[in-house]
Amino acid sequence: MKRIVAAVAMALTLTACGANSDPLADEPAASGAAGGSVTVGSANFPESQLLAEIYSQALETKGVTVTRKFNIGAREVYLKALQDGSISLLPEYNGALLAALSPNGVPAGVSSPDAVLAELKKVLPAGTEVLEQSAAEDKDTLTVSAETATKNNLKTIEDLKAVAPTLIAGGGPEFTERQQGLKGLKEVYGVEFKEYKPLDPGGPLTVSALKDGDIQVANLFSTDSSIVTNKFVTLEDPKNLFTSQNVIPLIRTEANNANVTGALNAVSGKLTTENLTSYLAQVQVDKKDIAVVAKAFLSENGLS
C-alpha cells in the first residue's frame, strides 16, 4: 500500500474526507451475507456517484451486501479510504489512476486502453486489483467557450501555449498538483496560465465560471452534457497528456469473490461512452435521482 500513501500525502492537507454529505452514504443494503460484503465509495462528482450506484445495485442483485459511502472527495482522498479499508470498491479511470500511481509519470507511448491497463496492473498497490475495464471513457479536457476558441484560433491544447499567459483557467483544486493537470500541461505543452481558480471537479461552479467569463479555460470531463448544451469547444490533446480514461472497477482483493467479479464485469461489458453520457445527462440535466437512473441502466441493459 506504499504507493497509495505517496499518492495521497500532499492532498490530505488540503481536502477533508466526506466534506459533502450524500443521502446514500453509510446506507447498508438488505442483501444476504452469503454473496459477500462490499463497501462502495465514489469521488465527489456526479458521474462517479452514478457509476458507484450502478455497481452497488448490480452487486445487490447477486446477493452481495453493499454499504454506500459516496462523495468522498478527490482521488488523493478516496485512495486513502481504500487503503485504510473505509471502502473496498469504487469506479476508477484507467489512465488517471495510472498517472496517480506513477511517480515518474505515465511511460512514453502508453495511451491506448490495453497499454494503459497493462501498465496500471504493474503499479497497483498490494492488496488491490482491477476487474474488466469498460469501453466507456471519460477524459479530462481543457474546454473553452466558442467565443474564446474563435478569438484565439484554438483547436488543440498546443494552440494554448501562446495565449495561456493572458487566460484564467479553472476546475478542481487537485488539478494544480496532478501530472494530468497543470504540471503536465507545463511539461508536455509548455502551457502556463495567468491564473488558476480552484472551483470544483467538472462541476457546476466550473461550468458557470466558464459561461460567465470568470475563467476562459475549464477542466471539464468529456461526458459532461454542459459541453454540448453550451456549445463549448473541447481542445484536442495531440500529445495524449490525458491518455485513455476507461471506466474500471478498483477493489480490495479481500472483498472480491465470484459474485462480485461476475456482477461488475457484466456492468463493464454494457458501459459505453455513449450510454454513460446519456444516463449522466438524466442526472445532470433532467435532475433525476441517481438511484433511479442506475436502476434504469441495469434494467435497460438486462442486468437487473
- Determine the Cα–Cα distance for residues 276 and 25; give it in Å rounded to an integer: 22
N- to C-terminal Cα distance for the chain?
35
pLDDT at residue 15, as a whole number: 35
Q: Where are the beta strands (DSSP E) in the chain?
A: 27-28, 37-43, 65-73, 89-93, 128-130, 140-144, 168-171, 195-198, 217-221, 233-234, 247-252
Kind and range of the H or E run holding 267: helix 258-270
pLDDT at residue 175, as a whole number: 94
Question: For strand 128-130 and strand 65-73, is the pairing parallel, antiparallel, or unpaired?
Answer: unpaired
Give, as one character, the DSSP assignment of residue 214. Answer: S
Going by CATH, does the domain composed of 2-137+244-300 fall within 3.40.190.10? yes
Residues of the chain below pLDDT 70: 1-34
The fold adopted by the segment(s) 140-234 is: D-Maltodextrin-Binding Protein; domain 2 (3.40.190)
pLDDT at residue 264, as a whole number: 98
Give me 285's grid cell: 440535466
**Burial of residue 90, with CB atoms counted within 10 A of its CB: 0-12 exposed, 13-18 middle, 19 or more buried:** buried
**Same-fold call for 2-137+244-300 versus 140-234:** yes
- Determine the Cα–Cα distance for residues 216 and 119; give it in Å rounded to an integer: 34
Q: How many other C-beta atoms lie within 10 A of the C-beta of residue 23?
A: 11
**Burial of residue 212, with CB atoms counted within 10 A of its CB: 0-12 exposed, 13-18 middle, 19 or more buried:** exposed
- All structural domains of the chain with their residue ranges: 2-137+244-300, 140-234
Q: Half-sphere exposure (CA, 13 Å, Cβ side) for 293? A: 23
